[in-house]
Structures are given as structure tokens and as C-alpha cells.
């Protein structure tokens, strides 16, 4: 993950939504850096 995602602070509903959007963008831009690429992989 990138530094923005790593250092992001979630304080309320709006910042949580922003955080999820940042995660999604990071996943789409850098899928090779993600260990779990699907929800079932993550939950396993």
C-alpha cells in the first residue's frame, strides 16, 4: 500500500468512505502488491 493509505486517519463516516475509495484505487493501481486479491482469499 502507499503512504497515503498507510497514514490515513478515519474519524467519521465520510473519512471512512474516503479511506475505502483510497484502498480501491490502490488495489486497482497496484494489484501485485496485495496479498489477498479476493474477499474469500482475505477471509481464509
Say how far apart CA 29 and CA 11 lie, in whole Å: 25
26: Cβ contacts below 8 Å, ≥ 6 apart? 1, 2, 5, 33
pLDDT given for residue 19 in this prediction: 94
3: Cβ contacts below 8 Å, ≥ 6 apart? none
Cell 496485495 sits on residue: 34
Tens-digit pLDDT profile for residues 1-44: 678 878 899 999 999 999 999 999 999 999 999 999 998 998 99
Residue 24 sits in which domain range?
Answer: 5-9+11-31
Q: Is residue 41 part of a domain?
A: no
Domain count within the chain: 1
pLDDT given for residue 1 in this prediction: 61
pLDDT given for residue 34 in this prediction: 92
pLDDT given for residue 25 in this prediction: 92
Provide the whole-model pTM: 0.74
Amino acid at each position: 500500500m502507499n503512504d497515503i493509505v498507510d497514514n490515513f486517519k478515519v474519524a467519521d463516516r465520510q473519512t471512512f468512505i474516503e479511506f475505502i475509495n483510497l484502498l480501491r484505487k490502490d488495489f486497482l493501481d497496484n494489484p501485485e502488491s496485495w496479498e489477498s486479491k479476493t474477499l474469500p482469499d482475505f477471509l481464509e
